[in-house]
Amino acid sequence: MCPSSSGSLRLAYISGGFPTWALFVAKSQGFFEAQNVHCDITHTGASTAQMLGLREGRFDVGLQLPDHVVRAGLYGTNLCVLAAQSHAPDVALVASPNIQTIEQLKGHRIAVDGARSGYALLLAKLFSSLGWRSNDYQLVEVGDSQQRVQALRSGELMASFINPPLDKALVNDGFIRLTTTREAFPSYPGPVVAARREWADAHPQLAKGFQNAWSKSWQWLLDTNNQSQAIEIALQHLGAEAPAAQNALQNLQRQGMPQIAAEGMAQVIALVWSHEDVGQKEMPHPGIYFWPATAA
């Protein structure tokens, strides 16, 4: 993979599905090109691979849950949020057909992307609310949603958070939807578009051009005049079926433009601080994680 040149950036995303809709809108509708941004896209399939690529400078921008941004800063990779990737998705915790309640997951192996990040942190928070300790369950790193679906179908693992629309096929085949992220964590923010701050500060016009293209992509996606084209993009790039894509698009249009605010990042910081060995470090002001930063 070549280093970034003027007007180009290397973007990585972990899992597909509806949260990446705006990315493929921007690519297919020429919004990146209109801002003189050439976007080279890589699907990493795992957060560990993506974060390693960002740390080593092989990617400039990544789509991920916001806790990755906070944790990266703790371990020497300075990332900054360029934009909200999407609304907080209603990701289902799906279990094997013989698991009927969350309590029945005790003692079982559960598939996650990364065991110390993303939805694994939310799972740990959910299980902690039941009084469980970390040895009451086992989190097994598998990869993206498609790989986790395969792990559930094989019977190797008992449950996982699965991105829409992939969860629907599992439920149709008898798997059990135990809860969703929106039900269990209604105010927790959704995924973000984050960049290496060193790259963003060195390429401010390119970073701003990306932000403009991303905003245009969402405006286009929310415009009801573009509904048929938007659904075609979902069918081609997101692995969606037409009815699910139409329902998802209508939900997006009701919610409007996604936002990531300081209040949401404060929740993320608190969650990371509760799971990492931060010593005596005070929780930082959430504004430092944005680009441009909103606090010193």
> How sure is the predictor about 28, in pLDDT bands with cuts at 50, 70 and 90?
very high
pLDDT at position 155 over 80: yes
Question: Which one has a higher pLDDT value, 253 or 164?
Answer: 253
Distance between CA 227 and CA 204 in Å, rounded? 33
> pLDDT per residue over 187-220, tens digit each?
889 999 999 999 999 999 999 999 999 999 999 9
Average per-residue pLDDT in the chain? 93
Q: What is the band of 5 on the pLDDT scale with cuts at 50, 70, 90?
A: very low
Q: So what's the pLDDT on residue 97?
A: 97
According to the model, what pLDDT value does residue 256 have?
A: 96
Round to whole Å and give the CA distance between 93 and 184: 10
The pLDDT of residue 62: 98
Q: Strand 138-141 to strand 92-95: parallel, antiparallel, or no bridges (unpaired)?
A: unpaired
**Is pLDDT of 284 > 90?**
yes
The lowest-confidence range among 9-13, 102-106, 242-246, 274-278 is 274-278
The answer to whether 117 and 67 have CB atoms below 8 angstroms apart is yes
Entry pTM:
0.80
Tens digit of pLDDT for each residue in 60-79? 999 999 999 999 999 999 99
What local confidence, expressed as pLDDT, does residue 132 receive?
96
Contact assessment for residue 217 and residue 99, using Cβ atoms and an 8 Å cutoff: no
Q: What is the per-residue pLDDT across 109-138, written as a single tens digit (0 to 9) for each?
A: 999 988 787 788 889 989 999 999 999 999
What pLDDT score was predicted for residue 139? Answer: 94
Question: With bands split at pLDDT 50, 70 and 90, how would you rate the model's confidence at 6?
Answer: low
| Distance between CA atoms of residues 283 and 261, nearest Å | 16
> Quick one: which of 102, 83, 288 has its CA closest to 191?
83
Residue 186's pLDDT is what? 86
The yes-or-no verdict on residue 11 having pLDDT over 50 is yes
pLDDT tier at 2, thresholds 50, 70, 90: very low
Q: What angle is formed at CA 162 by the lines to CA 75 and CA 222, rounded to 5 degrees?
A: 90
The two tokens of residue 91 are 């990701």
Residue 1: pLDDT band with limits 50, 70, 90:
very low
CA 13 – CA 163 distance, rounded (Å): 14
Give the domains, in start order, of the chain with CATH numbers.
Answer: 8-88+189-289 (3.40.190.10), 92-184 (3.40.190.10)
pLDDT digits (tens, 9 = 90+) for 30-49: 999 999 999 999 999 888 89
pLDDT value of position 296: 55
